[in-house]
A = this chain, B = another copy of it.
Amino acid sequence: MATVPLLDDAAAAPQAAAVFADIRATRNSDFINNFWRALANDPALLAATWERLKAVMAPGALDPLTKELIYVAVSTVNGCGYCIHSHTAAARAKGMTDAQHGELLAVVAMAAQTNALAAALAVPVDSRFDAAAPLPPT
C-alpha cells in the first residue's frame, strides 16, 4: 500500500528521470528503491530531497558509517519502518558488523529509557550544561 503510485522509469517525468539517473550514477547501481519512486510524483520535492541527502551523507567530519548509524537511530525513534529497513541495509553496505548493530540497538534502547525517565521526573537541566553565551543588549 502507498498513498501515491510508485513510478517506474517510464512513468517518471524528465526532472524525476534525471534524479533517478544521478542516484544510479552516485550509487553505482541500477536499483532505485521505492522511496524515490514514490517521491517522483513531485519531481521538485524529489530533486530537493535527493540533493540534500547526497550532501549531508557525504564523508566529512563524521564518516559515512557513523552517519548511517545516526540515521537508523533517528528512524527507529520516529518509528519509520521503511527508513529503518533501508538505512540498516545501507549501514551494512558501508561495513556495519553484527556486533556494531547490536551495540547500536543497545544504545538506542538505553537512550529511549533514560529519555522517558528524565521526562517523567521532569529533571531540571544542570546549569553547567548550558552552552549559550548571553546575548549583548540590543
Write the residues of chain A forming the contact surface with B, with a CB cutoff of 8 angstroms: 1-6, 8, 10, 31, 33-35, 37-39, 41-42, 44-45, 48-49, 52-53, 55-57, 60-62, 66-67, 69-89, 97-133, 135-136, 138
Q: CB distance B117 to A39 under 8 Å?
A: yes
Rounded to whole angstroms, the CA-CA distance of A69 and B62 in the bound complex is 10
Contacts of A69 in B (CB 8 A): 62, 66, 69-70
Q: Are A84 and B120 in contact (CB under 8 A)?
A: yes
- Taking chain A's interface residues, is the majority helix, strand, or loop, or is none over half, making it mixed? helix
21 residue pairs of the A-B complex, CB under 8 angstroms, read A3-B88, A5-B131, A6-B133, A35-B118, A35-B121, A38-B118, A48-B55, A48-B106, A62-B104, A62-B107, A66-B69, A69-B70, A70-B73, A73-B73, A73-B77, A74-B108, A76-B116, A82-B118, A82-B125, A85-B125, A112-B115
